[in-house]
Amino acid sequence: MIRATRGAYWLAPIALCLALYWFGLKTWFEQDDFAWLNLRNHVVDFHSFLWAMFSPLAQGTVRPWSERGFFMLFSSLFHLHALPYHVFVFFNQFVNIALLGMVTLRLTKSEIAGFAAPVLWICNLVMVTPMAWVSAYNEIQCATFLLLSFYLFLRYTETGRKGFYWAQWVTFLLGFGANEINVVYPALVALYAILLARRYWLSTLPMFVASAGYVLLHGLSVSSEASFYYDMDFRARSLIRTLQYYWRLMLAFSTYADSRQWHRWTANLAVIVLTLTLLGFGAWQARRRRFLPLFCLGWFGIALAPLLPLHNHLTDYYLFIPTLGIAMLAGNAIGTAWRTPWVRPAAIGLALLYAVPSGLIVHRNMKVLFERMDRARLLVESVAYAKHIHPGKLILLDNVDDELFWSTIYGSPFHIFGWNDVFLTPECAPLIKPDPHLGRVDPYVLPASAAAQALDQGALVYAVENRKLRNITRTYTAVLRSKPAPPLASLVQLGTPYFDSQLGDGWYQVETGYRWSSGHAIVYLPGPTAPGQKLSVHGLATEQETKLGPLHFALTIDGHPQPVHEITAKNADFTFEYVLPADLIGRRKIEVAFTLDRVLRIPTDTRDLGLVFGEFGVQ
């Protein structure tokens, strides 16, 4: 190839990537991004830095390079300016495109295949989330480690040079810091070695030990608490159903047909044609003792296998790494077809049958994500402006809808700035569809009684309008005052000053996010609205208190004594629940009182300290 052609050969897939995912450079942040962006605020010394980098978070994951380190480095350099994050992500994806081309070229010895594989991979709609959402960058980085490790292994099998083998070990081990799916790498290379480089398969075995060790460590760090979204179902029927879902999603046509409301049979027909082509090509090649297609299918299956039991968490970007195998397979098929001129049109036609609908979905979905994150940006930047012109004021947000809540507010973006006093108005609660598996909406909403008190203390109310926040404090206040007195809040957050009217004797001033009680204290709550509702009490005993022996917590609900709880070091951070007596249903106000069998005295403090509390709530 002449130099210009060679340049175009490598740059064309990158240019296509830029064209398809251009919106990804302009997207902002959402959801988990805000937690990661806030992570560096928890780092105060080397110990907390190690915690932030390596302690298991979010379903027990430890991804120091792709999440913790990446976000902490970029947020310390660029704060909430999203472009540099996305530029880096795009560069990393360009590396993946080049690596996929190089690997396919080496595997197939076909320049057509080496070109087609990355082009087809880029067109896949499962790229959308990682290319637009910074929190899904881990998929892109993990793909780099896997492709690079595999490329080095290929070079090792081609040259026999041990340097490649050990370099592969380094990239393989580093891959664990990107995404836990890296554990499948030994299976991938072992399959390759068994099918195509039998002499080297023994050299892959030690890597299984590394993966097994990682699985063991990861298993120890995963919370044993049941989680709906991460529930695993290993029954064959469930696994097949999930596999079928991912296979259809990957072939894209059915998603496109659904979006156009075409007949189901058109989607089914296209899926069948594409499936038969890929599997048929694999079978035909296997009969001729060419096992590369089997390896590519194996890549897909192996990389997807650990994710198949997650039947409640079907996520498009889980296919990001498995689709590398199918892209290599399709590249191989096109490269093979290209050698027979009369088959070329069919190969091109089939490639277009997949790539065009997928590309159209990519364009549409990128725009959807851009617009959703742009709403998040406008909200956060507008609140920042409001905080700038009204320093120290509590802000209530009105007219926040379901999408804006779950994409933005739920991720607590305001904590990044240290603002713990941005809440939703009670009128927002009915606009938000609760998801009990994800979390509670209540802590984000200031109840009407607390809102009235906050407004008396100078809080501001902003309504979310099209692309702006409008200050509606005066209107909102006047309307609130014209209504009957609001009921008591069913959730009292003791770490804020807006529930003081529901506190009786025995409480000290608010401290940062919590409040000390004395040895006996009272909270007023509304009665339950239905049978079976519970009173939930969340609090904390300090180490100094538990050192002195068990502490006894005796609570009464409107005079009804409840079972006494013992608090020790084991349950120092406690949440106690009590079934509310049925005779209290519908009562406007009930008294919840508790007594401790001893208090703590600190030499520099004159107070009798009971416990630290966060919330009292009727649920």
Partner 1 sequence: MRHALLSVVVGLSTLAGGCKSIDMVELQPTIEEAPALASAVRVSDPAQSNQLVSGFYEIQAGAWRWTAPQFQVLLAAPRAAATRGAQLVFEFSLPDPSIASLKSVTVGATINRLQLPPETYTTSGLHEYRRDIPASALGAPEVSVAFSVDKFLTPPNDGRNLALVATAIALEPK
**Minimum CB distance to partner 1 smaller for 151 or for 616:** 151
Site string for partner 1, 214-233 (x = CB under 8 A): --------------------
Local structure of 262: helix, strand or coil: coil
Q: Cα separation of 106 and 358, whole Å?
A: 27
Is 481 a binder of partner 1 (CB under 8 A)? yes
Q: Which of 11, 25, 95, 194 binds partner 1 (CB under 8 A)?
A: 95
- Tell me the closest approach of the beta carbon of residue 420 to partner 1, in angstroms: 16
Binding mask 378-397 for partner 1 (x = CB under 8 A): x-xxx-xxx-xx--------
Read out DSSP for 16-83?
A: HHHHHTHHHHH----THHHHHHHHGGG--SHHHHHHHHHS-BTTTB--IIIIIHHHHHHHHHHTT--H
* Contact call for residue 555 and partner 1 (CB under 8 A): no
Report residue 189 CA to chain centroid gap. Answer: 29
Number of Cβ within a 10 Å radius of residue 477: 17
CA distance 504 to 491: 15
User: Could you say whether residue 259 binds partner 1 (CB under 8 A)?
Assistant: no
Q: Is residue 340 involved in binding partner 1 (CB under 8 A)?
A: no
By CB under 8 A, residue 473 contacts partner 1: yes
- Minimum CB–partner distance for residue 478 and partner 1 (Å): 4
Contact pick of 417, 508, 514, 578 for partner 1 (by CB under 8 A): 417
- Which of 7, 55, 58, 91 touches partner 1 by CB under 8 A? 91
**Binding to partner 1 by residue 9, rule CB under 8 A?**
no
Q: Does 462 bind partner 1 (CB under 8 A)?
A: yes
Applying CB under 8 A, does 566 fall inside the site for partner 1?
no
In this structure, what is the dihedral angle of CA atoms 187, 191, 192, 195, given to the nearest 10 degrees? 170
Stretch that binds partner 1, among 76-84, 538-546, 552-560, 575-583 (CB under 8 A): 76-84
Residue 283 sits in the site that holds partner 1 (CB under 8 A):
no
What span, in angstroms and rounded, lies between the C-alpha atoms of 24 and 92? 13
298 versus 426: smaller Cβ distance to partner 1: 426
Cβ–Cβ < 8 Å for 17, 362: no
What is the nearest approach in angstroms of partner 1 to the Cβ of residue 162? 21
Asked if 3 is part of the footprint of partner 1 (rule: CB under 8 A), the reply reads: no
- Distance (Å, rounded) from C-alpha 162 to C-alpha 4? 35
The residue written with tokens 């990519």 in the block is 362
Does residue 24 contact residue 86 with C-beta atoms inside 8 Å?
yes
Distances (CA, A) of 188 to 116, 154, 321, 552: 22, 12, 12, 57
Stretch that binds partner 1, among 105-113, 305-313, 460-468, 507-515 (CB under 8 A): 460-468
Minimum Å gap between C-beta 443 and partner 1 is 23
Instruction: For the beta carbon of residue 580, count every other beta carbon within 10 angstroms.
Output: 26
Number of residues that bind partner 1 (CB under 8 A): 41
Residues that bind partner 1 (CB under 8 A): 77-81, 84, 87-88, 91, 94-95, 98, 377-378, 380-382, 384-386, 388-389, 416-417, 462, 465, 468-475, 477-479, 481-484
